[in-house]
Amino acid sequence: MVLHRALFALDAERAHGVGLKLLNLLPSRPANASPRLETALAGMNLPHPIGLAAGFDKNATAVRGFAGLGFAYVEVGTVTPRPQVGNPRPRLFRLETDAAIINRLGFNNDGVATVGKRLRALGSRPVPLGINIGMNKDSREALPDYLTGMNALSSLADYITLNVSSPNTPGLRALQQVDRLRDLLRPVLERRAELARDLARRLPVFLKIAPDLSIDEALAIAELARDLGIDALMISNTTIDRPATLSSPARVETGGLSGKPLMQPSTALLREVRRGIGKSLPLIGIGGIFKAEDVLAKILAGATAVQLYSGLVYEGPGLVRRLVRDLDRLLDERSIGRLAEAIGADA
């Protein structure tokens, strides 16, 4: 708790950097998950459904540290073909009274060559690893950048996520228009099939969408993703919406909002997509998870697994183990034999 308070005394981005450096120094204490929490996701057998969302470890500098916090799987990135510095600082803001974060980082990262070298040096992956890829800000076309990311990083990943929903790269969210998305996904998935022969395994590809889509837009994307062979739809990225309930001074900052205010809208969109798409496409619930009740709400709404980011900032490094323990207790209280039985029960 003392360290947690000390980090909050620093500005948000500096604290984030210090926290990442300290993470690998913490004792490794994997979560002790009950067998009833076992989760199957795109060929990955996970001890529980809780993963780290992309954005926390953009450059894959703390994969072992996050595994040691008890995450069942870890997603790094977003990684772009070429290194880029991102947007000018300040660009990361804590909304402490709202338990939220606003970021306009702009895909700041070391690029595929450096991140790939770092992951190769890591050796065996301590937990299943996802790599989130995107396009450089100054790229004229999106497809070559996503293919570059696939080519450079697929051998190092258990799955690849296509980020077409960050609000901080101009024009990126326009890729969610169904016609443009089809033109992106088809060649990416064709390349995935070619890579599978070299890898001697099938590489799952996930797609991450924004919470600001209408239900019809999200359903159209989900149907396209299912029909083309995307392995999971991630709902959702950060929002550009600003709920009237926000009270922190930083609420006026531009960028993507995450944290507790995202729990309700992202879960509502998740539920509507599950209702519309049925069980034909796995969904991953992201946004606003701070307690086990939030995890279960995402599962009941239709998620197979979940990811978190902001909750870890506010609740500290013991959060995942608490979530796993309390989620098991919730299942017991509700007489749910296995977590998998709860998927979509409220959709």
The verdict on whether residue 175 carries a ligand-binding annotation is: no
Contacts of 49 (CB under 8 A, 6+ apart): 37, 39, 41, 72, 295, 299, 303, 304, 305, 306, 339
Token readout for 295 is 């995890």
Q: Is 309 labelled as part of a ligand binding site?
A: yes
E strands, the chain, in order: 39-41, 44-46, 50-52, 73-79, 92-95, 100-103, 129-133, 159-163, 205-209, 232-235, 256-259, 283-286, 305-308
Residue in 139, 154, 165, 166 annotated catalytic: 166
Which two tokens mark 221? 């994307």
310 is annotated as contributing to ligand binding:
yes
Q: Does 151 carry a binding-site annotation?
A: no
Distance from the first to the final alpha carbon of the chain: 38
CA atoms lying within 13 Å on the CB side of residue 160 = 29
According to the annotation, is 106 in a ligand binding site?
Answer: yes
Q: Distance (Å, rounded) from C-alpha 90 to C-alpha 112?
A: 25
**Is residue 51 part of an annotated ligand binding site?**
no
Binding site annotation covers 163?
yes
Q: Does the annotation place 15 within a ligand binding site?
A: no
Q: Which residue has the tokens 């919470």?
A: 211
State yes or no: 66 annotated in a binding site.
no
Written as six digits, the tokens of 19 are 């926290």
How many CB atoms lie under 10 A from the CB of residue 340?
Answer: 15
Is 166 among the residues known to form the active site?
A: yes
Is 237 marked as a binding-site residue? yes
Q: Is 260 annotated as a binding residue?
A: no
132 is in an annotated binding site: yes
CA 163, distance to chain mean position in Å, is: 10
Known binding residue 197? Answer is: no
Which residues does the annotation place in the binding site for substrate?
Answer: 58, 103-107, 163, 168, 237-238
Which residues does the annotation place in the binding site for FMN?
Answer: 54-58, 78, 132, 163, 208, 236, 259, 288, 309-310
Which residues does the annotation place in the binding site?
Answer: 54-58, 78, 103-107, 132, 163, 168, 208, 236-238, 259, 288, 309-310
- Which residues have a catalytic role annotated? 166
